[in-house]
């Protein structure tokens, strides 16, 4: 497809958001923005999507974000639920047994194994069919400059792309003008290089060989996901999604990654697992070095970073892409809000405040896991085993700790649970049963037990609905039925009656009475607009599931 933007400084078309990079983070960001009615252009360097597997795990929060992009119905086909993730030493003695089964709070399985290209194919199909998204594959962004009201991007055909004719418009660099631009252009981000933010690099890196395999006949692996903490060759053995297995072998001190990254060597390393060319197909082998680092500033005026462009993590928590999709979910509704209400541009500062500490904490966890796994010294490994093995109790497993909450940003001051990720349960309304977001959509949602929403002052309710807010009262006597008791249990556990959920599913705050509901929405109004409605003495409205 030719790039057809008018290039003149006056008369140039200004789109809402330019997304640089069409990997999973850029694709999700584009879809979340376009679903809110924003016009988005995605510039992707390569003509066809990156075909080789990378991520194999996503969590329930990520699944909910993908649900918001319309991918929910295919997730059960694309992925398989992860069972226990066990860590053993070189003699097969258990060191840690993490329980990953069951539903997470976001209404999806807590851990899901998948093949990244399959997910990206689904996302790409959605990008292609969305009327508000233009995607230009085979073009790269080489420069980004900012004016007072817009960002200008220089877009050129990717060098090495089959040469276009001199006369071909698409062969010439073009300029694209947007209100905002987001660099979702991966670990070697051009946009990050242009913004040049400080980088916090923990210097924690190791080289690993990744081997993805499809077995000719299905086989049961017990445990299905295993970390072998053998100093002779730290190894990861996990599901690679339906029909696939993933092995990862650490490159030992003094060993060359290039020598390890050979097909014959990969088969050799698979031999002890009874996997060979006679019973399996190798999908890929690739050497790579992971890092633990992030930019300490993710935006400059109208240009933002998201995904691997902003942070890179060791793979051991399976969180790199998940963190990137959280960036997209966090940024999408904020850009949408500020496009509608330019005076609320201060909201965009909360992107860094909220996402950087969260992503840094996740990288920190992955790094701690890596320090246990990436041990090639036998003495150090023996000391580790002696400390960890006695803590494993037969037949018991440790639940995976929840992801951190938001600690700063657009959160109600002093409100309990502010910053916590809210639950998603199954609900029934008008005879239809489904996940909450499928029935009520994504946006600001005040989810409340009966009684506390019966008298929201009309001006507050009107302002709330002007930002897409909806009040959903859930309870036995109401139209919305809490099928599995998810909301009743959550409210009872926290001793609250209402929760104000942001469009990215984190809580602005909670309250336990009707006055608190009005105060919570007023505080949100104050934070977004700098003023509140003077509602004293005004009429009230009754809400149920509006
Ligand atoms: C071995 C391995 C295992 C992993 N396991 C997991 C896991 O289990 N769970 C998990 O959550 N994550 C995992 N990850 C991380 C995950 O794959 C990445 O975090 C994720 O792909 C990042 O997505 P992204 O969209 O930010 O970047 P990318 O997927 O890298 O996409 C960036 C895109 O930008 C394009 N681009 C670059 N520069 C330009 C430019 N100048 N102009 C236009 N386009 C450009 C690129 O072509 C690319 O398509 C793993 C990674 C690896 C390598």
CATH code of the domain covering residue 515:
3.40.30.10
Q: Judge whether 390 lies within some domain.
A: no
Q: Which of 50, 46, 22, 2 is nearest to 160 (CA)?
A: 46
Residue 485: exposure state from Cβ atoms within 10 A (0-12, 13-18, ≥19): exposed
pLDDT in the model for residue 401: 84
Query: Any idea what the CATH number is for the domain that residue 45 is in?
Result: 3.50.50.60
Boundary-marking domain end, from 361, 381, 403: 361
What is the per-residue pLDDT across 335-354, written as a single tens digit (0 to 9) for each? 999 999 999 999 999 999 99
Q: 186 in ligand 1 pocket by Cβ < 6 Å?
A: yes
User: Can you state the angle between helices 320-340 and 60-68, rounded to 10 degrees?
Assistant: 40
**Residue with the nearest Cα to atom 18 of ligand 1?**
321
Confidence band for 540, pLDDT divided at 50, 70 and 90: very low
Q: Judge whether 497 lies within some domain.
A: yes
Q: Judge whether 208 lies within some domain.
A: no
pLDDT in the model for residue 479: 79
For the entire predicted model, the pTM comes to 0.94
Across the range 166-187, mean pLDDT stands at 83
Q: 327 in ligand 1 pocket by Cβ < 6 Å?
A: no
Co-location of 346 and 484 in the same domain: no
Co-location of 431 and 357 in the same domain: no
311: pLDDT strictly greater than 90: yes
pLDDT in the model for residue 508: 98
Co-location of 184 and 316 in the same domain: yes
Q: Judge whether 50 lies within some domain.
A: yes
DSSP H/E element including 194: helix 190-195
Co-location of 194 and 322 in the same domain: yes
Give the chain's domain count: 2
Q: Which of 417, 315, 302 is nearest to 351 (CA)?
A: 302
Q: Judge whether 228 lies within some domain.
A: no
26: pLDDT strictly greater than 90: yes
Q: Judge whether 434 lies within some domain.
A: yes
Across the range 138-152, mean pLDDT stands at 95
The total of other beta-carbon atoms located within 10 Å of residue 42's CB is: 26
What is the per-residue pLDDT across 183-212, written as a single tens digit (0 to 9) for each? 999 999 999 999 999 999 999 999 999 999
pLDDT in the model for residue 454: 78
Boundary-marking domain end, from 326, 345, 361: 361
Q: Judge whether 369 lies within some domain.
A: no
Boundary-marking domain end, from 361, 387, 411: 361
Co-location of 342 and 459 in the same domain: no
**Residue with the nearest Cα to atom 42 of ligand 1?**
140
272: pLDDT strictly greater than 70: yes
Co-location of 47 and 136 in the same domain: yes
Co-location of 504 and 431 in the same domain: yes
Whole-angstrom distance, CA of residue 144 vs CA of residue 228: 45
Co-location of 29 and 153 in the same domain: yes
Q: Closest ligand 1 atom, CA of 155?
A: 42
Q: Show the DSSP H helices in 480-543 as ranges.
A: 486-494, 514-529
Q: 205 in ligand 1 pocket by Cβ < 6 Å?
A: no
What is the per-residue pLDDT across 393-403, written as a single tens digit (0 to 9) for each? 888 888 888 89
Co-location of 356 and 454 in the same domain: no
Q: How far is the CA of 26 from the centre of ligand 1 (A)?
A: 10
Q: Show the DSSP H helices in 344-485 as ranges.
A: 349-373, 378-388, 436-440, 458-466
Q: Judge whether 300 lies within some domain.
A: yes
Look up the domain containing 193 and give its range: 13-79+114-199+293-361
**201, 293 contact by CB (below 8 A):** yes
């Amino acid at each position: 497809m030719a790039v057809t933007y008018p290039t003149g400084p006056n008369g140039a078309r200004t789109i809402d958001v330019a997304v640089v990079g069409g990997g999973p983070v850029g694709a999700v960001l584009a879809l979340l923005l376009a679903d809110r009615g924003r016009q988005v252009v995605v510039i992707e360097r390569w003509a066809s999507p990156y075909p080789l597997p990378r991520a194999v795990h996503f969590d329930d929060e990520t699944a909910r974000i993908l649900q918001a992009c319309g991918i929910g119905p295919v997730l059960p086909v694309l992925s398989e639920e992860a069972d226990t993730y066990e860590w053993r030493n070189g003699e097969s003695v258990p060191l840690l047994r993490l329980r990953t089964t069951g539903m997470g709070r976001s209404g999806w399985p807590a851990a899901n194994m998948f093949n990244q290209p399959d997910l990206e194919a689904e996302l790409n199909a959605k990008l292609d069919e969305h009327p508000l998204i233009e995607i230009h594959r085979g073009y790269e962004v080489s420069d980004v400059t900012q004016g007072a009201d817009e960002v200008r991007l220089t877009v050129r055909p990717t060098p090495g792309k089959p040469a276009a004719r001199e006369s071909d418009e698409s062969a010439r660099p073009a300029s694209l003008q947007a209100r905002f631009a987001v660099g979702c252009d991966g670990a070697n981000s051009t946009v990050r290089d242009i913004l040049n933010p400080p980088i916090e690099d923990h210097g924690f890196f190791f080289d690993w060989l990744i081997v993805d395999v499809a077995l000719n006949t299905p086989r049961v692996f017990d445990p299905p996901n295993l970390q072998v903490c053998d100093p002779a060759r730290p190894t990861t053995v996990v599901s690679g999604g339906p029909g696939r297995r993933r092995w990862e072998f650490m490159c030992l001190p003094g060993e060359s990654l290039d020598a390890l990254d050979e097909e014959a060597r990969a088969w050799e390393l698979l031999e002890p697992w009874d996997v060979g060319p006679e019973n399996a197909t190798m999908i890929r082998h690739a050497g790579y070095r992971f890092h633990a680092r992030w930019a300490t500033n993710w935006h400059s005026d109208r240009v933002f970073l998201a995904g691997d462009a902003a942070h890179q993590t060791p793979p051991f928590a399976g969180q790199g892409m998940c963190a990137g999709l959280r960036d997209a979910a966090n940024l999408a509704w904020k850009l949408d809000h500020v496009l509608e209400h330019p005076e609320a541009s201060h909201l965009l500062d909360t992107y860094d405040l909220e996402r950087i500490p969260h992503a840094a904490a996740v990288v920190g966890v992955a790094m701690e896991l890596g320090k246990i796994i990436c041990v090639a010294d036998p003495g150090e490994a023996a000391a580790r085993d002696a400390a960890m093995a006695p803590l494993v109790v037969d037949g018991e497993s440790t639940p995976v700790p929840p992801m951190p909450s938001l600690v700063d940003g657009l959160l109600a001051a002093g409100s309990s649970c502010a910053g916590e990720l809210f639950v998603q349960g199954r609900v029934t309304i008008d005879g239809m049963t489904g996940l909450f977001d499928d029935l009520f959509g994504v946006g600001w949602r005040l989810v409340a037990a009966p009684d506390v929403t019966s008298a929201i002052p009309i001006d507050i309710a009107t302002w709330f609905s002007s930002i897409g807010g909806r009040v959903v009262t859930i309870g036995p006597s109401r139209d919305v039925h809490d099928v599995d008791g998810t909301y009743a249990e959550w409210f009872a556990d926290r001793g609250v009656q209402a929760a104000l959920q942001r469009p990215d599913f984190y809580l602005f705050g909670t309250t336990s009475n009707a006055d608190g509901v009005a105060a919570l929405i007023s505080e949100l109004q104050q934070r977004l607009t700098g003023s509140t409605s003077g509602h004293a003495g005004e009429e009230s409205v009754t809400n149920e599931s509006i």
